[in-house]
Structure 1
Amino acid sequence: MNKHNISLIGFMGTGKTTIGKILAEKMGYDFVDVDEFIVKSEGRSINDIFIEEGEEYFRDIETNALHKILEGKNQVISTGGGLVLREENRRALLEGSFVVALKASPRNIYFRLKDCDERPLLKGAHPEKTIRTLLHKRYQFYNKNHMSVATDKLSVDEVVEIIIKEINK
């Protein structure tokens, strides 16, 4: 385990970006969002990549982006919700960072994301059902971590403090 990088994993809407930015600031680390890294390097949105190239292509560039990012140090890394689907990515995260899984109930995730148009996997007729299905499929992967925090009933600052306390043990 490498504590020079902290990776936040979890389903979309669990707070990875919001918590990650504040955690990075408090620790004096750089904040790196894997999806933003991909958007910059590809010159197009995640949505466009999914539409034009498909999910498998996106997962390939996501894996490459993760490896490049993990070469750095003193970073808080916010991963995309599906990054953990590949064994190679899970292994790289666990070896190259302190992995924190952020968790939330399907209902809370739905309410956090219901007005967001930039989530390609939630474009269907029943987004809450899709969230439950995807969470069920990904549950085992989100449990491959060094610690996990349920974000449902905690403020952002409380989650950040819990993570910092654990890292400083």
Structure 2
Amino acid sequence: MSIVSSEKNRCIVLVGMPGSGKTTVGRDLAKRLGLRFVDTDHEIEARTGVKIPIIFEIEGEDGFRKRETQTLDDLTRESNMVLATGGGAVIRPENRALLRERAVVVFLSVPPPILWERTRHDRSRPLLQVSDPRGRLEELLKVRGPYYREVAHIIVEGGRGTPHAMVKLIEKELQALCEH
């Protein structure tokens, strides 16, 4: 039975904090399952022709979030896809509803110290360009953590294993969902 065979669960969506591995794990998962991979941030950049930090600079976070909602709405209508969302996609209630209703949502839960290690040199993350990016990560996780858990059908504890190990865990959990 195909993991994405039911009408309700047409695509697999990865959510989690910046640095949780959504893009890396998503690409590997899509390849293993023979599905298309899409990263919403890359899709927004392709649609606008502008990098995310520039969108934040010109339109602010609210302008970016509106674009993100439209992109999520469009993409979650498609099938046979693994979709990696931006870390803040779960902030808006309408996004949480779209994700929960239209996809199998996998939350990649990674501890803050590991997130910090993975993101501390990355200048392409607008919300982490502050005087205390480590504190900002912890602050964002406090706000977003409950939302990730709210939308998740599957929660995978990450950060210690390889992306391949996380993919295998996700596959196992997806198979278990299909059997129920």
Q: Compute the TM-score of the two structures, normalised by the length of structure 2.
A: 0.91
State the number of aligned residues: 169
Q: Give yes or no for the alignment of 1:82 onto 2:88.
A: yes
Q: Mark the runs of 5 or more structure 1 residues left unpaired by the alignment.
A: none
What do the CA deviations read for 1:119-143 (whole angstroms, capped 9, x no partner)? 1011111110111111111111011
- Summarize deviations over 1:67-116 as a string: whole Å, max 9, x none: 11011101000000000001111111111110000011111101101111
Consecutive unaligned residues of structure 2, counting only runs of 5 or more, are 1-5
Q: How does 1:64-143 map to 2 (within 5 A)?
A: 64-143=70-149
Q: Distance in 2 between matches of 1:18 and 1:50?
A: 24
Matched residue of 1:98: which SS? strand
User: Equivalent residue for 1:153?
Assistant: 160
| Percentage identity across paired residues of the two chains | 37
- What pairs up with 1:36-55 in 2 under 5 angstroms? 36-55=42-61
- Structure 2 CA distance for aligned equivalents of residues 165 and 11 of structure 1: 22
Normalised by the size of structure 1, how large is the TM-score?
A: 0.97
Distance in 2, matches of 1:138 and 1:165, equals 26
1:10 aligns with 2:10: no
Which of these residues, 173, 176, 179, is aligned with residue 166 of structure 1? Answer: 173
- Alignment pair present for 1:60 and 2:66: yes
Runs of 4 or more, structure 1, over 4 Å off, are none
**Contact 1:17-1:33 at 8 Å conserved across structures:** yes
Deviation at 1:19, TM superposition (A): 0.0
Aligned partners of 1:130, 1:167: CA distance in 2, in Å? 32
User: 2-side partners of 1:139 and 1:70: how far apart?
Assistant: 22
Whichever residue aligns with residue 162 of structure 2, its letter is: S
